[in-house]
Structure formats: structure tokens, C-alpha cells
Amino acid sequence: MLKKSLLLSLMTFGLTACGGGDIKPDSIKSEVPASTESRDQIKIVGSSTVYPFATTVAENFGRSTSFKTPIVESTGSGGGLKLFCSGLGDNHPDITNASRRIKASEVERCAENEIFDIVEVKVGYDGIVMANSRKSNQMNLSLKDVFLALAKDVPDGSGGLKPNSYKTWNDVNPALSTNKIEVMGPPPTSGTRDAFVELAMEGGCKTFDWIKALKKTDKKAYKSLCHTIREDEHFIEAGENDNLIVQKLNANPNALGIFGFSFLEQNADSVQGSTIDAMPPTFENIAEGSYPVSRSLYFYVKKDNVNKIPGIYEYLAEFMSDRASGPDGYLAEKGLIPMNLDEHSEWKASVLGLEPLMLN
């Protein structure tokens, strides 16, 4: 009796393990010459800023077509590009989201792993905000304030540098409050981090003439000076989960959080964005470009996988459709700053034509 039940359990196990993955709808089998060993679900990784948009499109795509809903993981732009460029094949993602443009070194890495044709898709625009809980007062910061509050080394007033010892906002700028500097931001895997150091930190760093001059003479030192963020308790790396940062802001009214505009919009009832150089972070200001810390959002697709994994082309079609990323689309409702009609049509044509990326 025992042997029989053991045998039975082994058989059931075998059968259940075989279940799942193999069932494909007939319509797909005829359209795409998929190999029988490939997986049939799109794998997406990457930016936590693009994550809310990618997941919304993925969900709508899954519900309105017979393809499986793509799996989306939030790894950070840098982390995602690393996974993306690690190779072709089922164990590697098909698409990676990025809240900054792919860098030349990453394209090189992709090429090293036999990935030559990458399709770049621009999604829209986004602003990076420094927000705090509505329970506190709104802060008015200048880029210089941001740099002085967060850099690892700051100017010492006589042409040199000293380690950052500012503890309160008042230390940085007498016009600001005496609250302790407590900023939660993304780790280096995040595109938001890259964009923040390039736009905000560097923007504030440049206001010192001698540092600006350094850019021409020693670019590496300039970058290191402007991009390095302090590592004490005043800047806390809060991981790739922007939702969590919003929650922590609710619990700690003194802290500021760095994240994308969509998170500000979706939680406007509990958090507020600080004005940067007197510009409040609003939809209009970011779309016009007058808010100083705004950037474009992208995602990258392996052209080779479009034929291997069912549904990628249709996913692209859904993402670039007017109802999704158009000026009145559902992504705009989620906080995406969409491209204007002309730009959107241009990108739509290039993406649906699967034109490979050319970095100039």
C-alpha cells in the first residue's frame, strides 16, 4: 500500500510538472514560428520609475489579447540593463525599462554578448521631485542648496574641498528651516539616481565658477566631485521601491524623498513636491521644460526576441498606441508626461518598424 501511494505521488508530481508552459493559443502558433523550447511569456526588467507604466500596459495587454501577461520586475535602470545585456536566450529578459538613455558602455557590453540589434522606445517625460509629507511645510530649494546638502565633498570657501558636515538645511542656506537634512534616494542601480546626479547635483555644482572651469581641465575630477553623494545618515539609500519611499515619508514628516513625478501625482493627497529654483513640479512645467530636473523615459527591446517570444510586437503596439502613451492616454492619467502628437507619431513609426538603435 505504501509502495503504491509512493508510485502514485511520483506520477502526479511528474504530470503536474509537465503542465503549464506548453499550452499556446492556436492563433499565436500560426503567426509566429516559435521554437518549442522558448518560453511564451515576455520578461521585462528595469527602472522603478517606468515600472508603474510598464505594469499598466502589461496588464491591459494581457487582458485585451490572448497572450500571457508579461512579467515585470523592478530592478533599477542600471540593474536592468546589466541583465538585459547579459545574453540572448530564455533566461535573460526581453525588454528593459530605463529612466535614462542607454550608455555607450552598456551598448558595448550588449555587443560583447552577441546582442546587436536593440530597439529604443521613448515612452515620454518625467520630472524628478524632492518631496516631503504634506504634514510639513513645502520646501523651496535651489539647485545649489541641493548640491550643498547632499554632496560628499563641498567647497570650503577658498577654492578647495572639505567633507560635507552640514547637518541642517539652515546650515546650507540661512533662508531654509532648521530641520535635519534627511533625504531618501535611490541606489546607483537606479536611473533616477543617474538622472538626479546629472541634472540636480551637477546643476548645483556648476554654480561655483571654479568647479565649472574644472569641467574643461579635468572632467573625471569634475564628475567625481559633482556626482558623489554623501554616505552618512543624511542620505539614505532607500532601494528600488519608490512606493516604499512615499510610505516612509508619511511616517516621517521631516524627511525628503527623491522619486519620479508619477509617484508625486499618484500620492498628491499625502506628499508635496519642493520647488526647485522657484519652479514647482507640475505637469505643465515639466512638459514645457521649465522645471529643471526632468528627463526622458525609455525602454529597450531585443530585436532578435521579437520573433522568438510571442507577443512582443503586439506589446510594443499597445505601448505606442494613442490610447496608452498618447497625450490623452491612460498612462498620462498615471502621471506620465506624454510626448506631443508629432513626436509621438515619429517614435511610433520608428518603433513599429523595429528600427535598431544608433547612438550618436
Partner 1 sequence: MPNYILSTSRQMAKRHAREKRFKWYGRIAIFISIAFLVFMFSAIIFRGASAFQQTKISLDINFSESILDPSSSRDPDLLKRANYKPIVVESLLSVIPEVTERRDRNRLYKLLSTGAVFDLGEKVADDPSILGKSKKVWLLASSEVDLFMKGKIDPNVSEDLRRLKDRDIEWIEILKSEGRIKKKFNKTLFTNGDSREPEMAGILGAAIGSFFSLLVCFLIAFPLGILTAVYLEEYAKKNFITDFIEVNINNLAAVPSIVFGLLGLSIFLNFFHLPRSTPLVGGIVLALMTLPTIIIASRSILRSIPQSIRDAALGLGASKTQTTFHHVVPLAMPGMLTGTILGMARALGETAPLLMIGMVAFIVDIPKGVTDVATSLPVQIFLWADSPEKGFVERTSAAIMVLLAFLILMNICAVYLRKRLERRW
Partner 2 sequence: MRPQIQNELRRRNRRNQIKEFVIQGVLIASSFVAILTTIGIVASLVFEAFRFFEKIPLTEFLFSLEWSPQTAIRADQVGASGKFGVIPLLTGTLLISFIAMLVATPLGLLSAIYLAEFAKAKTRDIVKPLLELLAGIPTVVYGFFAALVVAPIIRATGSGAGFDISSESALAAGLVMGVMLIPFISSLSDDVINAVPQALRDASFGMGATHEETVTKVIIPAATPGIIGSLLLAISRAIGETMIVVMAAGLAANLTLNPFEAVTTMTVQIVTLLTGDQEFDSAKTLAAFAIALFLLILTLGLNIIALRIVDKYKKKYA
Query: All 3 cell numbers of residue 299?
Result: 525602454
Spell out the residues 6+ positions from residue 142 whose beta carbon is closer than 8 angstroms to its own: 173, 204, 276, 277
The residues that bridge with 344 in the sheet, in sequence order, are none
Give me the DSSP letters along 203-252. Answer: HHHTTSHHHHHHHHH-HHHHHHHHHPBP-STTEEE-TT-HHHHHHHHHH-
Q: Which residues, numbered 14-43, are part of the site for partner 1 (CB under 8 A)?
A: 16-21, 23, 27, 41
Q: Which residues, numbered 131-150, are part of the site for partner 1 (CB under 8 A)?
A: 134
Number of residues in contact with partner 2 under rule CB under 8 A: 30
Q: 41: burial class by Cβ within 10 Å (0-12, 13-18, 19+)?
A: middle
221-249: burial string, b at 16+ Cβ within 10 Å, e else: ebbebbbebbeeebbeebbbebeebbebb
Sign of CA dihedral 221, 224, 227, 232: negative
Residue selected from 145, 194, 265, 318 as contacting partner 2 according to rule CB under 8 A: 194
59 binds partner 1 (CB under 8 A): yes
Identity of the residue, 63 or 216, whose beta carbon is nearer to partner 1 in the bound complex: 63
188 binds partner 2 (CB under 8 A): yes
Query: What's at 155, amino acid-wise?
Result: P
Residue selected from 15, 251, 278, 358 as contacting partner 2 according to rule CB under 8 A: 251
Residue selected from 24, 39, 82, 144 as contacting partner 2 according to rule CB under 8 A: 82
User: Using N-to-C axis directions, what is the helix angle for 51-64 and 312-320, rounded to 10°?
Assistant: 110
229 binds partner 2 (CB under 8 A): yes
242 binds partner 2 (CB under 8 A): no
- Residue 55's binding partner among partner 2, partner 1, none (Cβ under 5 to 8 angstroms by kind) is partner 1
Identity of the residue, 18 or 251, whose beta carbon is nearer to partner 2 in the bound complex: 251
> What dihedral do alpha carbons 324, 328, 334, 335 form, nearest 10°?
120
Identity of the residue, 6 or 161, whose beta carbon is nearer to partner 1 in the bound complex: 6
Q: Which residues, numbered 317-336, are part of the site for partner 2 (CB under 8 A)?
A: none
104 binds partner 1 (CB under 8 A): no
- Residue 231's binding partner among partner 1, partner 2, none (Cβ under 5 to 8 angstroms by kind) is partner 2
In contact, 204 and 150? CB cutoff 8 Å: no
Number of residues in contact with partner 1 under rule CB under 8 A: 50
Minimum CB–partner distance for residue 59 and partner 1 (Å): 5
Enumerate binding residues for partner 1 (CB under 8 A).
2, 6, 9-10, 12-13, 16-21, 23, 27, 41, 51-52, 55-56, 58-60, 62-66, 68-69, 71-74, 91, 134, 241, 243-244, 246-247, 250, 266-270, 323, 328, 330, 333
Enumerate binding residues for partner 2 (CB under 8 A).
74-76, 78-79, 82-83, 103, 105-106, 187-189, 194, 197, 223-224, 227-229, 231, 233, 236-240, 248, 251-252
